[in-house]
Amino acid sequence: MVQKGIAIFAVIFILMSCNSVKEISFSESKEIKNQVNTVLNNWHLAASEANFENYFSTMDSISVFIGTDATENWNKEQFIAYSKPHFDKGKAWSFTTLERNIYLNNLGNFVWFDELLNTQMGTCRGSGVLEKKGNSWKIKHYVLSIAIPNEAVNAVIKAKKKNDDLFLKKFKK
């Protein structure tokens, strides 16, 4: 009976050992961060050049873009519908990265980031998630927000109160 238990334990141990996943090394982590930086820089460049194909091919088919307005929570198709007229005019938007932090999971196939941006709206913050699919990184989720200095928050609250009141009515039951 004891030998049978030891044999079962040995088989389970061997199977678990075979299923272990190799974590990425420091150098692999650095290379992944370089790849993601390039993807994001090229994505922002594609928008500034109104390159519709390059911009939207960087986004996953099931991606989400959350803009600065409370109503802007778009899947890729909705974001394309909003954005296409801007790209068609030859001028979308121009975001220059001031700083970026990239974090990754232990397997190196999933990253999240935050970035500080110089934009036509002033200083903004972007954050998002990318997943490696095959040999390329795809943006799964992106959030853009306008950075508001703490000392200006009360003035912003006052300026948007009327719009917020109208917007919030749809959530009241």
pLDDT (tens digit, 9 = 90+) per residue, 33-89?
A: 999 999 999 999 999 999 999 999 999 999 999 999 999 999 999 999 999 999 999
Kindly list the distances between the CA atom of residue 7 and the CA atoms of 16, 17, 18, in Å, as whole numbers in the listed order.
Answer: 14, 15, 17
Q: How far is CA 126 from the centre of its chain?
A: 8
Helical (H) or strand (E) element with 80 = helix 76-88
What is the DSSP secondary structure assignment for residue 69, as one 8-state letter? S
The residue among 68, 67, 47 whose CA lies nearest residue 56 is 47
pLDDT for position 4 = 67
